[in-house]
Amino acid sequence: MIWLKRGIAEDDDPIHGTLSADRYSIGCGHIDEMARFVSADTIALAEVTDRERGNDPVMRMTYDRLEDNYRILQSAADQDGGKFKIVRMPVANPIYQNLTIQSGPDGGLKYFHGTKPGQKIRYLISASYLNFFISNGVVLEAAYWRPGRPDSTRRKDQAATAILKQLFPTREIVQIHAENLN
């Protein structure tokens, strides 16, 4: 067992308050948002680039957390004392949604700590290329690009597919638009 530190920022529990300014997460701390075993000796770990770190305060938080976890994995050993092969996967581009907090138990007051009725917030869905599903002959992976989103999202979808093809050469890689599931 390997104990990693904190996960990606957008997967934090919103009960703890904002991530940055009016930005909230809606996650609850799933390991498969940041790291996955892909074989007995290989671990895929999400990665934020230096450029992404500088463009978004939440990505900056995620960068720091992932690099801490990378150092832990570099020092970890498998069941036979061998080093792990660590494959870095891109993080998905941030996907923000706007929400106006309503009064009442289902209006977000309990969920988004510190908010008030009528307050406008932005929440960040947990989106990850590591939340893939392995089945007989196929790996289902998330895709986030759609018309109106930055082309960098399309490139990240393609990069994640290419990496998964290398990690699972005998399986078909099938993208699914997982945003509503997330």
Residue 145 lies in a domain: no
* More confident: 104 or 117: 117
Partner residues linked to 88 by β-bridges: 45
Q: pTM here?
A: 0.87
Residue 150 lies in a domain: no
Residue 142 lies in a domain: no
Residue 86 lies in a domain: yes
In the chain, what percentage of residues exceed pLDDT 90?
57
CA-closest candidate to residue 132, choices 18, 46, 14: 46
Q: What is the pLDDT averaged over residues 111-124? A: 82
Cβ-in-10-Å burial (0-12, 13-18, 19+) of 39 comes to exposed
**Residue 178 contacts residue 142 (beta carbons within 8 Å):** yes
Residue 66 has pLDDT above 80, yes or no: yes
DSSP character string of 148-166:
TS-HHHHHHHHHHHHHHHH
Residue 29 lies in a domain: yes
- Structural domain that includes position 98: 9-128
Q: What is the pLDDT of residues 139-166, one digit of tens each?
A: 999 999 999 999 999 999 999 999 999 9
Helices (H) and strands (E) counted in the chain, each on its own, are 3, 9
- Give the pLDDT score at 95: 86
| Side-by-side strand order, sheet with 120-124 | 23-25, 120-124, 96-100
Residue 18 lies in a domain: yes
Q: Which amino acid, residue 141?
A: E
Residue 1 lies in a domain: no
CA–CA separation, 80 and 153 (whole Å) = 39
Residue 133 lies in a domain: no
Total count of domains within the chain? 1
Residue 16 has pLDDT above 70, yes or no: no
